[in-house]
A and B are shown apart, each in its own frame.
Chain A
Amino acid sequence: MKKEKSKSSAGVGQKILRSGVVSWIIIIAVWWLGSLAYDEYFLPSPTETASSMGTLIQNGVLGADILASFGRILKGWLLAAAVGIPLGLLVGNFKPVRWLVEPVLSFFRFVPAIALTTLFLMWFGVGEESKVALIFYASFFPIFVNTIAGVASVDKSLVEAASSMGAKKLHVFFTVVVPSAVSNIFTGVRLGLSSSITCVVAAEMLVGSDGLGYLINSSKLYYKTGWAFAGIVTLAVIGFAADRLLLVIGKHKLKHFGVK
């Protein structure tokens, strides 16, 4: 009896630790202690951040900024998936094309989207287009590269099995190669989402008049450090939630495609 009890309580302890609740309590405590030492303009406390957030929600600013940012993210990211996945499937499937593309790819991967902001502003103007284009650029690469990798790593014996059952190349491509690449594509799409979020903030901080990046950036004009914190927390929460949501859907719907 005793043994069992100690064992199960250890199990519960582990569970709590792993759930991250403890980590968050520690971080918030440190944040709070730190905020005691400085004034509100330098480091707002968790409660002050919460109240800023409350104000921003009430006056509708936060909601509007979330919509603005995530509208852009969704546009750029979906566009990147719509272009990156088919293109990646094609490039991955044809070795010569892959050899042609891969060296260039590994070069461009080191050019962060932010470095292109100025150019994109020049090319696409200061409106929505340049931001969406930046997000597209940022999320395109992870999606494209992972799709190529997915196609390239398809189990050769599956392809051979399909052709020995009489399937033609195109049929094999759609029924074997593409499904085999799903798990990699999914990883790419997730990575794409997180780089879109990074990128949208940078873009909105540089130009524009709405969005979470603008909110964070403009808070300094009004000495509202609390707003910046509210924006940062919102970004983190929404980003995390979106990724989790994607993962849950993926695990549920794409389990047999190897999504873990």
Chain B
Amino acid sequence: MYIELKNINKTFGDFKASDDVSFGIEKGKLIGLLGPSGSGKTTILRILAGLEKQDSGDIFIDGKNVNNLPANERGIGFVFQNYALFPFKTVYDNIAYGLKVQKKDKAFIKNRVSELLDLVGLPGLEKRYPDQLSGGQRQRIALARALAPEPELLLLDEPFAAIDAKVRKELRSWLRETIDKVGITSIFVTHDQDEAVEVADEIIITNKGRVEQAGNPVEIYLEPKTPFVAQFIGQSAIIENYGTLKGFTQTDSSNTAVIRPEFIEINKFEDNGVHQYESSMEDGIVDEVLFRGNAFEVKVKLNELYLTGKYDLSAPRLRRGDKVKILIKKLYTISGNQTDILLNKGLDTSDVYYI
């Protein structure tokens, strides 16, 4: 592992901001640090960068313990959430800052700055001041500035938080491309699952100062290791007493389950309609229908439980209050720190047909 955090602890007052945090990152990977607000994402970045000192635990970069290395000797680039560009310096001088610190000669700096401006797609803005740039442009300059001294590791704290949704989507694929071009190991913090899934090679999920799970997005999505992850990823519904649902029997060890949108199938109720799995379906009422471009997102009420699922655009239109048949194909059961997949029994028995 190129970057390794081992048993990092950090408390502010009596608040545990990092609780036995350990993870490793391979060289060249882009890691998404995902978790709810206050879960300690920024704290991890700051400790890694040397801007905050851990109470205990070790940090290794390329096999070397950097615990006692101050921020200015760690060679880690940091892109701050608020950009932190020097308002009194031009774009040129902002980007050149780290190079001047390294005492590079003028010609080299000039070349490197224009190379970086090309990289971030903003050539010719050398003479501007930060207050003459748009939010997205500032973001890019902040990235160029962090990259200029050729850091070993790049940390980005919610790089797109202050940017509106549309530009944000463009910027995140741009970020992925840019980081790929430079080939630098990077960690970025985000609140946004889509962002993490779309951009990151690997996702680390934090909660209450702990690392809940680390792995590639698909793995996390398909095999959540902790109840928190199962609930946090996707628009999951949490249900107690899932044994009352058709096709499921409560296990001894667990009485809570998570149902994800893609686990359910919603069918419009037809008076004389028949469905293959009729006997495994629940009756529900449509609560909300949202258009999501390639499909509808439908929220249905099943007794006291609300479930969200996808609904085909070409299927008979649904409106609030319509009756629907819901097939729950599977769910995650949760017991303690363990999650398991439980399939609807009605789907297993392929030789039985209910007509």
Contacts and interface: CB of A to CB of B under 8 A. Distances in A.
Interface of A: 155, 157-158, 160-168, 171, 175-176, 179-180, 182, 256-258
Contact of A164 (B76, B82, B88, B89): B76
Interface string B128-150: 01010000000000000110110
B71 interface: yes
Interface stretch (B23-31, B94-102, B172-180, B260-268): B94-102
Nearest to A168: B72
Interface string B261-282: 0000000000000000000000
B86 to A, nearest CB: 6
B73 A166 contact: yes
Contacts of A175: 97
Given A166-B149, A167-B72, A158 B84 contact: yes
B86 A166 contact: no
Contact of B78 (A155, A160, A179, A180): A160
Most central of A161, A168, A171, A175 by chain B CB within 10 Å: A161
B49 A164 contact: yes
A167 B82 CA distance: 20
B33 to A, nearest CB: 17
Question: Shortest 9 CB-CB distances between A and B: which pairs?
Answer: A165-B98, A157-B84, A164-B78, A161-B84, A163-B72, A163-B71, A179-B88, A166-B101, A256-B88
B80 A161 contact: yes
Interface string B43-76: 0000001110000000000000000001111111
Contacts of B78: 160-161, 164
16 contacts: A161-B86, A161-B145, A164-B74, A164-B77, A164-B78, A164-B146, A165-B97, A165-B98, A165-B145, A165-B146, A166-B98, A166-B102, A180-B88, A256-B88, A256-B131, A257-B88
B243 to A, nearest CB: 52
A155 B87 CA distance: 11
A155 B88 contact: no
A257 B130 CA distance: 12
A160 B142 CA distance: 13
Interface residues on B, range: 20 to 34
Contacts, number: 69
A258 B71 CA distance: 28
Contact of A157 (B77, B80, B101, B146): B80
B71 A160 contact: yes
Given A161-B78, A164-B49, A167-B72, 4 more contacts: A157-B80, A161-B145, A179-B86, A179-B89
Nearest to B99: A165
Interface of B: 49-51, 70-78, 80, 82, 84, 86-89, 97-98, 101-102, 129, 131, 145-146, 148-149
A161 B77 CA distance: 8
Contacts of A168: 72
A81 B98 CA distance: 32
Contacts of A161: 78, 80, 84, 86, 145
Contacts of B80: 157, 160-161
Nearest to A159: B84
Contacts of B86: 158, 161, 176, 179
B101 A171 contact: yes
A164 B51 CA distance: 8
Contact of B71 (A155, A158, A164, A176): A164
Contacts of A160: 51, 71, 78, 80, 84
A182 B88 contact: yes
Nearest to A258: B87
A182 B89 CA distance: 13
A167 B101 contact: yes
Nearest to A155: B84
Contacts of B74: 164
B102 to A, nearest CB: 6
A137 B286 CA distance: 77
Given A161-B78, A171-B101, A166 B51 contact: no
A164 B129 contact: no
A157 B74 CA distance: 17
A84 to B, nearest CB: 21
Contact of A163 (B70, B89, B131, B145): B70
Contacts of B71: 160, 163-164
Contacts of A166: 72-73, 75, 98, 101-102, 149
A15 B98 CA distance: 47
